[in-house]
Amino acid sequence: QENFENDSYESNEYAGVVTGLAWTPVGGDILFIETLLNRGKGQLTLSGQLGDVMKESAMAALSFLKAHADLLDIDYRIFDQYNLHIHVPAGAVPKDGPSAGITMLTAIASALTQRRVKPNLAMTGEITLRGKVLPVGGIKEKILAAKRAGIKEIILCQKNRKDIEEIEPRYITDLTFHYVENAMEVLALALLHEQVKNPVHFVLQDEAKPNSSVVV
């Protein structure tokens, strides 16, 4: 009863929204990872009919960002005082697999920093807990779909370079590929230094003061 169509790249006006690439039995497609932070107690909500592997990808991306919050100038208290909701439309389409890992990483980081995502950028790649980027499948279909959707630059795992080299060059003129090995390279490429218009200002409470605190 639903009618689906191929989506187009939209814009980078929202913090927390990043374009990913999906493989489906009928060809590639782009998808949007949407994230929102709302005041709460640090709960993670995942929606959009995500399978277990995709949910675990989100959890790994979030843990990585918590562990490296300093490098991105993220106030750690956001993780305790805000809830994170990640949604992947279309809501009725089941999605799974690890290949949205770096897209979810970037979307969460953009939401946390309110930094604008590079325009006309898409990405696909698995993320591990230590921030390693792993290669994923379906590259050819994904790239063609990206081009069709108006994407200009694509971030991929270094180990997926060979998959690009197998595509006939005339199909991918006008596309720029960035090959990466770890999460920090992804974020350096994908997040602009400027914030979005009307960025959210996080209201953070002091943490309960202990008698004393020690660094070991």
Greatest CA span in the chain, whole angstroms? 66
Question: Which pairing describes strands 82-87 and 27-39: parallel, antiparallel, or unpaired?
Answer: antiparallel
Q: For its own copies, which residue of 29, 85, 105, 180 counts as binding (CB under 8 A)? A: 85
Check residue 119 for interaction with its own copies (CB under 8 A). Answer: no
Minimum gap (Å) between residue 132 Cβ and its own copies: 7
Minimum gap (Å) between residue 206 Cβ and its own copies: 4
Q: Which amino acid is at 204?
A: L
DSSP assignment, residue 207? P
Which tokens sit at 101? 């890992």
Check residue 108 for interaction with its own copies (CB under 8 A). Answer: no
Closest to Ca ion by CB, 143 or 191: 143
**Chain residues 24-43 in contact with its own copies, contact rule CB under 8 A:** 32, 34-39
Q: For its own copies, which residue of 72, 134, 167, 184 counts as binding (CB under 8 A)? A: 134
Where in the sequence numbering do the catalytic residues fall? 99, 142
Buried residues in 191-208 as b, exposed as e (16+ CB within 10 A): beeeebeeebeeeeeeee
Check residue 29 for interaction with Ca ion (CB under 5 A). Answer: yes
Check residue 188 for interaction with its own copies (CB under 8 A). Answer: no
**Chain residues 86-125 in contact with Ca ion, contact rule CB under 5 A:** 92, 97
Closest to Ca ion by CB, 149 or 180: 149
Q: Are 84 and 111 in contact (CB under 8 A)?
A: yes
Angle in degrees, CA 56, 125, 202, rounded to 5:
65
Q: Are 196 and 114 in contact (CB under 8 A)?
A: yes
Choose the binding region for Ca ion from 7-15, 147-155, 184-192, 206-214 (rule: CB under 5 A): 7-15
DSSP assignment, residue 208? P
Closest to its own copies by CB, 174 or 208: 208
DSSP assignment, residue 60? H
Check residue 9 for interaction with its own copies (CB under 8 A). Answer: no
Minimum gap (Å) between residue 25 Cβ and its own copies: 9
Check residue 141 for interaction with Ca ion (CB under 5 A). Answer: no
Q: Which amino acid is at 62?
A: L
Q: For its own copies, which residue of 27, 53, 153, 179 counts as binding (CB under 8 A)? A: 53
**C-alpha gyration radius of the chain:** 18
